[in-house]
Amino acid sequence: MSLSHIRNFSIIAHIDHGKSTLADRLIERTGTVSSRDMSDQLLDNMDIEKERGITIKLQTCRLFYDYEGEEYTFNLIDTPGHVDFTYEVSRSLAACEGALLVVDATQGVEAQTLSNVYLALDNDLEILPVVNKIDLASADVDGVKKEIEDIIGLDTTGCPLISAKEGIGIDEVLRQIVEKLPPPSGDPEAPLKALIFDSYYDNYRGAISMVRIVDGSVKAGDRIKMFATGKTFEVVEVGVYAPGMRPTTSLSAGEVGYIAASIKNVADTAVGDTITSADRPAAAPLKGYKKVTPMVFTGVYPADGARYNDLKEALLKLQLNDASLTFEAENSKALGFGFRCGFLGLLHMEIIEERLEREFDLDLITTAPGVSYHVTKTDGEKLIIDNPTNLPPAGEIESIEEPVVKATIYTPPEYVGQIMELCQDKRGVFIDMTYVDTSRVQMTYRLPLNEIIYDFFDSLKSRTRGYASLDYEPDGYEKSDLVRLDMLINGDMCDALSLIVHKDKAYARGRGIAEKLKDAIPRQLFEIPIQAAIGGKIIARETVKALRKDVLAKCYGGDITRKKKLLEKQKEGTNRMRRVGSVAVPSAALVSILKVGDDK
C-alpha cells in the first residue's frame, strides 16, 4: 500500500464536545459498519464508557474512503478524554500525523481542548479544527472560530462546521482529512520500529500490542524485542481493526494495527515502548517512553471478608488489561484483609472500583483516596508512604514532601474571585492569569495533589456553576507541614479512617469526620466516644449516646417464633458489622465516612 494513501489521525476534544459521536459518524459514512449495526459510540466498548460518555481504553479503527476515485486508508485512533490518562493520549497522538480538534460550538475552547492541543503540537501533528454542534440554538460558530484562532492560533478558514449528532458536514471532514492531514513517512526496509500506543489482554491471544509501525515491517513468525524490558517474543498474528480484529499478512511502515505474540503480561507491552526486530534490531527506540506511576492510592476491601480471594482474582484480571493499576495486600484492623491500590487519578480509581463491583459482583469498602508521600526520617532513612497508617510517629520525621500539580483552569471572568478563593483554601500557589478573550480567563496554580483529589473538582464546578474546566499535570514534590489524623472509636484507633492532612486543615477535617461518624454509628448498649487525634492529642470529640430502648413489647398470642426470628436477625446484623475495638460499626457507616468531599 502506498504511504501517500494512508492517513493516521486522532480526534481530540474536551469532554462532551462530541469526539465519540464524530468517530461514529466517520465509521458509518465510510461504510465500515452499516448504520444497521451501529450502536451509539461504537468505539467506546465498555458499558461504563457508554454510560459516562467517556473513553477509557483506546480503540482504533481502519476506514476506507474513496476520494476522487482513489481509495484511501484512514486509521482513526481514539484517545481517552481525561486528565488521568494524559500519557496514553500523548502516545496515541505520537502514532498519528494529524488530529481533528473538535470544539463544541456552544462551549468554546476548554481546559482539555488546550491540553490536548499542546500534546498534539508536542508530537508535531497537523491539526484540523472542526466546529461541532452547529445545529444547537445556543451555537456561536463565529465566536468559537475566533476563540480557536485567538487562543490556539489555528486558521479556521474553511474548517468543517458540523453536527456529528445530525450527520451534518461529515463528508467535508472526510475530504479535508485527505487534503489537509499529511500522509505518514517511514522506511519499510529499515529495521522494525513500532510504537506501542496501547495494549490490552485478550483471553485467547494474550497481551495484544496496538502499534503504529514507524519503520520496517512485521509479520507472523517474526521474532520481536521490547526495548523497555529486552524481552523477546515470536509474533503469532498481525492485523488491523476494522473495527474488529482482522488478521493481515503483515504490517509495514506507516500502518496502524496490532501484534499478538503470546505475551502473558500486559506489563511486557508497555504503552510508549518500542517494538523492534530481535534479529535485526533498530539502534535506538522511539522517543518518549516513560513508565507510568500511580498518583492516587486507596485501600480496597471486600465488604464481605470471605470474598478476599475473589477480589484478588478480580484485581489480577483487571491488571492484565491495565498495567497502570497497581495493588499489594494490606491488612486493616477495622476492615480486615484487602489491597492498597494505586491509580493514575480519581477517574481511573472510580472506573476500577465500578468495574470490580459490576463485572465481578463485589461489594467494596474503599478508604479515602490519598497520594504517595516522600518521608525523610530523622535518622536519614527515606520512605515512600502511600498508606497513612505507615507514617512513622511525628518525632521520627525530619520532613515530609507531598506531590504537587500544575493546574490550568479556564473560566468566565466573573468566577475568577471564587476560584482564587478556592485555590487559596486548597493551599494553591498562584502562578499566572491571562485573559484569553473577553469571555474567558486562563488561571494557573500550583496545588497539592492531595487537595485536588479530595474535593477540588466538585468545589470548582459548584462555585462556577459548571463553567470552569480543569486540567493538571504532575509538577514534582514539595515539603509541607503534614500530620496524620487518626479517628478513635471508644478509644480504639480505626486505622481505616486515618488520613494525612495539612496541619491547618486537621481540626476542620477531624471535626467533620467525628460528626459524620456520630450520625453513622448506631446507638449501642454503651456510650461511644468518638475522637479525632493528632499524635496523642485529641482535637475533636463527639459522643454516640447509649441506646435506651430496644425491646419487643408485646407477644401476640404466644407467637414466640417471630420473636426468635427478630432476635436472630438482630444478632446476624451485629455479626456482619465491622469491629473497631469493642464497638460494632456497620460497613455502610464506614463507606459513608470514607466517601470524599461531602463532609461539609
Partner 1 sequence: MELYIHFPFCRKKCAYCDFTSYANCSEALVFSYLTALKREITFAGERFPNAVIDTVYLGGGTPSLMTPREIESLFNKLRSAFKHFGPSEVSVEVNPESATDEVLSAFRDAGVNRVSMGVQSLSDDNLRSVGRVHDAATARAAAARIAKNFDNFSLDIIVGLPYDTPQLVREEVGEVGELAPHVSVYELTLEEGTPLACAVAEDRVWLPSDDEVAEYMDIAADVLSRGGIERYEVSNFAKRGFECRHNLGYWTREEYLGLGAGAHSLVKTDAEGKALGAEIRFASPKDLNAYIGGINCVDAFDDVPRADMQVLTEADIRTERIMLGLRTREGIEEELLAGRDFGRVERFLKRGGGRVSLTDEGIAVMNSVLAEII
Return the C-alpha cell found at 553. 413489647
Q: How far is the CB of 577 from partner 1 (least distance, A)?
A: 11
Query: Helix 346-359 vs helix 308-321: angle between axes, to the nearest 10 degrees?
Result: 120
The residue ranges that bind partner 1 (CB under 8 A) are 524-526, 545, 547-561, 563-564, 566-567, 570-571, 574, 582
Of 102, 133, 131, whose CA–CA distance to 116 is shortest?
Answer: 102
Residue type, 291: K
Q: Compute the distance between CA of residue 489 and CA of residue 518 in angstroms, rounded to an integer.
A: 10
Name the residue nearer to partner 1 (CB basis): 567 or 588: 567
Name the residue nearer to partner 1 (CB basis): 573 or 597: 573
Q: How far is the CB of 531 from partner 1 (least distance, A)?
A: 19
Q: How far is the CB of 565 from partner 1 (least distance, A)?
A: 10
Name the residue nearer to partner 1 (CB basis): 291 or 545: 545
Sheet holding 336-343, edge to edge: 326-332, 336-343, 296-302, 364-366
Q: How far is the CB of 541 from partner 1 (least distance, A)?
A: 21
Contacts (Cβ under 8 Å, ≥6 apart) of 326: 294, 319, 341, 342
Name the residue nearer to partner 1 (CB basis): 375 or 521: 521
Q: How far is the CB of 493 from partner 1 (least distance, A)?
A: 20
Of 289, 215, 226, 290, whose CA–CA distance to 252 is shortest?
Answer: 215
Q: Compute the distance between CA of residue 188 and CA of residue 328 in angstroms, rounded to an integer.
A: 43
Name the residue nearer to partner 1 (CB basis): 112 or 490: 490
Q: How far is the CB of 566 from partner 1 (least distance, A)?
A: 8
Name the residue nearer to partner 1 (CB basis): 318 or 583: 583
Q: Compute the distance between CA of residue 94 and CA of residue 124 in angstroms, rounded to an integer.
A: 8
State phi, psi for 586 to the nearest 5 degrees: -65, 145
Name the residue nearer to partner 1 (CB basis): 549 or 600: 549
Q: How far is the CB of 487 from partner 1 (least distance, A)?
A: 22
Q: How far is the CB of 524 from partner 1 (least distance, A)?
A: 7
Name the residue nearer to partner 1 (CB basis): 185 or 570: 570
Q: How far is the CB of 544 from partner 1 (least distance, A)?
A: 13
DSSP 439-508: TEEEEEEEEEHHHIIIIIHHHHHHHTTT--EEEEEEEEEEE--EEEEEEEETTEE-GGG-EEEEHHHHHH
Q: Compute the distance between CA of residue 98 and CA of residue 288 in angstroms, rounded to an integer.
A: 18
The position carrying cell 465481578 is: 360
Name the residue nearer to partner 1 (CB basis): 141 or 520: 520
State phi, psi for 544 to the nearest 5 degrees: -90, 115
Q: Compute the distance between CA of residue 41 and CA of residue 452 in angstroms, rounded to an integer.
A: 30
